[in-house]
A and B are shown apart, each in its own frame.
Chain A
């Protein structure tokens, strides 16, 4: 369970957001470009720090401006798939997926087992030994997602994960993400600008406008005004 209150002065406006996501829940963040969606994810991951606020994941404080707690990025155990899928091009698919576990010095047998498991789920097992630099955009995306899930995170965050995918792969990736999230029972934040995707996978939607939430609710109840149509 994620509970966060973030406040940060951005260039044009202050960002002020209260966020709560339950285990197994997919929370979709939507809004125009520059509304602050990616900044929210960056702050939750620790790559950026809010000016004031607090972030608590499963009861553990990751950030607390009042008491000065700042857990470094490396120790937050959050699976974060950044925009423009960033599969490491010089490593093979299996090396990519294993990366996070290796960094945590997990035993190599367990790593091998986990890598197999996640590659299977994201349907990239047949590409295990291929260098990620040679893959298509969609395949790279799946590698990135498998890699993030493999570390056994307590929170998953995906920034525009479906943009590089064609219709077929988008469907299967969405299904995979939903299954994984509900199996692992972890909260999941997805940033997307597509209404269609929000309706497909989201349990709840937050509309962000100039740093503040202007609407929260179920995807089916989403107001159409002020939202970009699916491209």
Chain B
């Protein structure tokens, strides 16, 4: 075919298209390649055989169970909290608003340190608990507390904004129809915000699952008790590389599943009113 040189206008368009593609590609590759590299560093046989290793199974079970419990607590306590907070004005509301975001900007290690200094055996509160024989630091409960601290903003912010954006006339109408506040919450408020709440919950779960800095400071590192998957990866990197790799891959798989779930739910919610 005959080739004719493009005119200046089309030439610029070409450059823009190439530029855009390069940009998109570089960002995508930068994010994707490290993850892909994980898979290339091991073989399928090695991976599958490490899955049975007690270090892997105990970390997996511990991580999943603590993250689920943390998520449950955040939802049960956080949903009514976010609702009350968004529907009312009260003195100090701005401070509470800011505090909700605090764990997002606080380095996890600092959060762990803070939890230890408060709830540790000689901590501000911990010393009184210790008198009753209640221990918090270095327990599985500490893992859950650390997860809740760092992950709750993901849910609270989402819930708060969803409730704020919900047209109050729905709830007002329901009131005039004779519905009690609880009925309104269960039949109107929740169903209309469910999609967004679930995606907030999924992100909270992901964050709790990946929590490391606060966990290691406050809960310590004990296999089967406090050695979650991220701790196990860290530990494995310095000793049993294979275990670290296997757990890293497991975490990647779980994280991807979470991401896909969020996309799917966000798409579903978009189709509601």
Please report A residues at the B interface, Cβ cutoff 8 Å.
Answer: 45-47, 73-80, 82-84, 86, 88-90, 99-100, 103-104, 132-133, 144, 147-148, 151
Contact = CB atoms under 8 A, between A and B. Distances in A.
Interface string B236-273: 00000000000000000000000000000000000011
Interface string B174-208: 11111110010001100110000000000000000
A201 B167 CA distance: 30
B170 interface: yes
Contact of B272 (A83, A86, A89, A147): A89
Contacts of B183: 103
B273 A151 contact: no
B93 interface: no
Nearest to B171: A86
Contacts of B177: 99-100, 103, 147-148, 151
Contact of B175 (A74, A83, A90, A151): A74
A227 B267 CA distance: 46
B173 interface: yes
Given A84-B169, A90-B191, A103-B183, A47 B273 contact: no
A76 B272 CA distance: 31
How many B residues touch the partner, as a band? 10 to 19
B172 interface: yes
Contacts of B174: 88, 99, 103
B259 to A, nearest CB: 26
A40 B128 CA distance: 57
B178 A45 contact: no
Given A89-B273, A90-B191, A103 B179 contact: yes
Given A90-B273, A133-B272, A104 B178 contact: yes
Contacts of B178: 74-75, 77, 100, 103-104, 151
Contacts of A78: 176
Please provide the 3 A-B residue pairs with the shortest distance between their CB atoms, ordered closest to farther.
Answer: A89-B273, A100-B177, A133-B273
B179 A47 contact: no
Contacts of A151: 177-178
Given A82-B173, A99-B174, A90 B192 contact: yes
Contacts of B173: 80, 82, 86, 88, 144
A78 B187 CA distance: 21
A47 B176 contact: yes
A86 B176 CA distance: 12
Contacts of A133: 272-273
Contacts of A73: 175-176
Contacts of A148: 176-177
Nearest to A100: B177
Interface in B95-120: none
Nearest to B192: A90
Contacts of A84: 169
Nearest to B174: A99
A89 B192 contact: yes
A88 B178 CA distance: 15
A42 to B, nearest CB: 9
B273 A74 contact: no
Contacts of B167: 86
